[in-house]
Amino acid sequence: MTNIAMIEAAAARLKGHVRRTPLLSSPFLDEIAGRRLFLKAENLQHTGSFKFRGGWAAVSALLPEARAKGVIAFSSGNHAQGVAFAAQAHGVPAVIVMPADAPRLKIDNTRAMGAEVVLYDRAGGESREAAAAPYVQGRGLTLIKPYDEPEVIAGQGTTGLEIAEQAAEVGVSTADVLVCCGGGGLATGIALALEDRAPGLRVRPAEPKGFDDMARSLASGQAESNPSQTGSICDAILTPAPGTLSLPVLSRLAGPGLVISDDEALEAMALAFKHLKVVLEPGGAVSFAAALFRKDQIAGDAVIAVATGGNVDADVYAEALRRFG
């Protein structure tokens, strides 16, 4: 399993390639949140999401023989782009299996990064494995899982190393760190990094209503699953259940989960537009929405929200501005 040495090793491989994303703030947002609010803007990462980190960490860790054969990933979009970008940069062939109803921007970008994109009909019940089979057989591709994968978690954990440094720069040593949570790979990597570097900072997963498997799992002490896999605009973080690697770490290190509605995610996107000048996608704004709209469930005079992505189609974004701008 991932540990701090693996996270440091991933940071060394990412150095010179990863963007150290800024910690943004505004007095207007502090006012709404009732405390100092800092946004770690991973939407500004290469490929528009933190997934670049895990993709790069995993691809760069492959041995030469595995690189020559290539990689495969299953993803609704952000992991797809992270793996495709990293694979292209390393000269590694990549097959990405995506649901046909993923945002167009994510599908287009993944293709443009040189990956072979295989679409499957998620809503119609087609299995992604079945869709991928003809493209994969006999090629010996290495599967890069989106979160249940130690090297991927190590890459995501490099976000936590930066948060520890940046929190110290703004004088914050004790605070909740809210992290948008699907399978929990990012939350897990950050929690492990903060345990070592800034133990006063505590990860808390943030999830959309109806997809709060991690919050319920942390509360019950066992893996809980979601009743549905569709039905929220937060497409990036709609996973069936916590990752098997994530839950034990988060049970030990994380605070209680926070749950927000789709409308709150859209309103948070409009507030990030207005006050921070960054573009967030719905699933990437869930942590920021929790910092703004769940202030009674948060303690302390500062909070850090990790904004995880900005890959949103223009019509969805315009709708958020129309309703909440």
Listed residue (202, 298, 303, 204) closest to 257, CA to CA: 204
> Nearest distance from residue 325's CB to its own copies, in Å?
3
Cα(243)–Cα(184) distance, integer angstroms: 6
Q: Taking the CB of residue 142, how many other CB atoms lie within 10 A of it?
A: 17
Of 30 and 101, CB closest to its own copies: 30
Least distance in angstroms from the C-beta of 155 to its own copies: 19
If one asks whether residue 75 binds its own copies (CB under 8 A), the answer comes out as: no
Question: Does residue 12 belong to the site contacting its own copies (CB under 8 A)?
Answer: no
Q: Given the structure tokens 């520890």, which residue do they identify?
A: 164
In the window 34-73, what residues touch its own copies (CB under 8 A)? 41, 43-44, 46, 48
Q: Using CB under 8 A, which of the segments 16-24, 123-131, 221-229, 231-239 binds its own copies?
A: 16-24
| 27 is an interface residue for its own copies by CB under 8 A | yes
One character per residue 277-296, x = contact with its own copies (rule: CB under 8 A)? xxxx----------------
Would you list the DSSP string of 294-324?
Answer: -GGG--SSEEEEEE-B----HHHHHHHHHHH
Q: Is 86 helix (H, G, I), strand (E, B) or coil?
A: helix
Q: Cβ(159)–Cβ(309) under 8 Å?
A: no
In the complex with its own copies, the residue whose CB is nearer, 22 or 210, is: 22
Q: In what order do the strands lie in the sheet with 36-41?
A: 23-24, 36-41, 302-307, 175-180, 201-208, 258-260
Closest CB to its own copies among residues 135, 273? 273
Interface of this chain with its own copies, residues 294 to 323, rule: CB under 8 A: 310-311, 314-315, 317-318, 321-322
| Per-position DSSP letters for 12-72, written without gaps between them | HHHTTTS----EE--HHHHHHHTSEEEEEEGGGSGGGBTHHHHHHHHHHTS-HHHHHH-EE
**Residue 276 interacting with its own copies (CB under 8 A):** yes
Residue 15 sits in the site that holds its own copies (CB under 8 A): no
Closest separation in Å from C-beta 109 to its own copies: 8
The contact set with its own copies (CB under 8 A) reads 19-22, 24, 26-28, 41, 43-44, 46, 48, 105, 109, 112-113, 270, 273-280, 310-311, 314-315, 317-318, 321-322, 325
